Amino acid sequence: MNADFHHPPDRRDSDSVKWGKYAGRDILPLWVADMDFAAPPAVRAALEARVAHGVFGYGAPGSALIDAALAYLEDAYGWRVQPAWLVWLPGLVTGINVAVRSVGADGAAGVLTCVPVYPPFLAAPKHGAQPLRTAALTQIDGRWAMDIAALEAACLPGTRLLLLCHPHNPVGCSWSRAELTQIAGFAARHNLVVCSDEIHCDLILDTDRRHLPFAMLGEAAAGRSITLMAPSKTFNIPGLGCAFAVIPDTGLRQRFLRVMQGIVPHVNVLALAACEAAFRDCGAWRQDLLCLLRQNRDRLEAEVAALPGLSMTHVEATYLAWIDARALSLPEGLSPAAYFETRGLGFSDGADFGAPGWVRFNFGCAPELLARALARLRHAIEIPAPSA
Ligand SMILES: Cc1ncc(COP(=O)(O)O)c(C=O)c1O
């Protein structure tokens, strides 16, 4: 196991959004989706070499980066992507917003997604002045599932785009071939473009599951797909800003590129160097990371199962646990996220994901910090503060 996972750098006085939010307060930051670990050594070495070069002019993805990305996709998923299908982006949320605008360019096209979901899925249609329709995810036998009937009911004649989160943030599902096939059928019936955010695809924790890119279901699915991917979550380099879209259909890709014009900047040269090293040289580091995240997940799941008032489903993928705290007897008007902050725990508030009463717990941290967080969680549940 990589020793760095137990002794991550101190981020308190760094430029971290995650740690800065609670600067000067005794609240453990367990919210925004970055991990506390240093990037893999090969990524750091590539960055050092790039800095040593000393020239930071405008950059473009070179053939070594493109080869590394394509080889990674083929190795990991058996997905043979053509270089022409790639569109490089300085962030994946940028891609979601561009997708919304490129599909609904006449202002009349609606967007559909399942909730709860990563907040930019809910914001992007608003930014693009597109009507948003949502369908609630459901639970079947304690596992989250897409509700196709709910999607059918939410889909209007003008709906043109389905935003899919795969694996899903926050519910932690890695959608199966059968589930994706249902989604593809639904999209075909309504002639929808499917924008599949697969940023968490290399963080499948269950060893009996494998990520299947939506676009790999077949030619028809590929033809209506915009797949968004990035090395940022897996290798913990989100602050560098490097992502890409895979868009096999030429017309769709041209529309996507047109919307980007004059607005979306190039990927910066340090991010290009980091991305290439991440895809080419960090396989063993990723396996170590997955071991650690599995241990953290198992420990968290066992603790939450023993606490009254809290429940969660099994996390198949991601380092995010989606916890139902609606059964806590909190005073009216006090959200679980606000309550837990008073007990030294900084979770993401489920309300931002379309689900008040829930919290999202980021367990991408050192086991030692997780242990402190779990001790605080037990205390917060077993000995509520007088105001609660
Ligand atoms: C599903 C999902 N998409 C996108 C992002 C962010 O991507 P980026 O930082 O590249 O914009 C996140 C980060 O939490 C995420 O969970």
What's the CA-to-centroid distance between 169 and ligand 1, angstroms?
A: 9
**Delimiting residues of CATH 3.90.1150.10 domain(s) in the chain:** 3-38+283-382
Q: Beta-carbon neighbour count of residue 256 at 10 Å?
A: 23
Residue in 317, 347, 321, 318 with CA at minimum distance from that of residue 335: 347
Which of 115, 122, 169 is the best mutation target for the ligand 1 pocket, counting ligand atoms within 8 Å of the beta carbon and taking the most? 169
CB 31 within 8 A of CB 42: no
On the question of pLDDT at 1 being above 70, the answer is no
pLDDT tens digit string along 285-326? 999 999 999 999 999 999 999 999 999 999 999 999 999 999
Whether 243 is in the pocket of ligand 1, judged by its Cβ within 6 Å, is yes
What's the CA-to-centroid distance between 382 and ligand 1, angstroms?
A: 34
Which is the CATH superfamily of the domain at 3-38+283-382? Aspartate Aminotransferase, domain 1 (3.90.1150.10)
- Residue holding tokens 């059918």? 152
Which of 89, 100, 118 is the best mutation target for the ligand 1 pocket, counting ligand atoms within 8 Å of the beta carbon and taking the most? 118
**Nearest-angstrom CA–CA distance, 155 and 151:** 6
Which pLDDT value is given to residue 4?
Answer: 85
Atom of ligand 1 nearest to the CA of 118: 1
CB 324 within 8 A of CB 312: yes
Query: Is the pTM value of this prediction over 0.95?
Result: yes
- Residue holding tokens 């499917």? 194
Whether 362 is in the pocket of ligand 1, judged by its Cβ within 6 Å, is no
What's the CA-to-centroid distance between 139 and ligand 1, angstroms?
A: 24
- pLDDT band at residue 13, thresholds of 50, 70 and 90? confident
**Nearest-angstrom CA–CA distance, 378 and 370:** 12
**Delimiting residues of CATH 3.40.640.10 domain(s) in the chain:** 44-281
- pLDDT band at residue 230, thresholds of 50, 70 and 90? very high
Whether 349 is in the pocket of ligand 1, judged by its Cβ within 6 Å, is no
Atom of ligand 1 nearest to the CA of 93: 11
Percentage of residues in the chain having pLDDT higher than 90: 95
Beta-bridge partner residues of 324: 311, 358
Vertex 173: Cα angle to 172 and 176 (nearest 5)? 160
pLDDT tens digit string along 245-259? 999 999 999 999 999
Residue in 5, 212, 195, 26 with CA at minimum distance from that of residue 100: 195
On the question of pLDDT at 107 being above 60, the answer is no
**Nearest-angstrom CA–CA distance, 221 and 225:** 6
pLDDT tens digit string along 146-163? 999 999 999 999 999 999
- pLDDT band at residue 44, thresholds of 50, 70 and 90? very high
Whether 91 is in the pocket of ligand 1, judged by its Cβ within 6 Å, is yes
**Nearest-angstrom CA–CA distance, 59 and 56:** 8
Terminal alpha carbon distance of the chain: 41
Whether 238 is in the pocket of ligand 1, judged by its Cβ within 6 Å, is yes
Which pLDDT value is given to residue 104?
Answer: 65
Classified by CATH at the fold level, domain 44-281 comes out as Aspartate Aminotransferase; domain 2 (3.40.640)
In this structure, what token pair is assigned to residue 302?
A: 């066992």
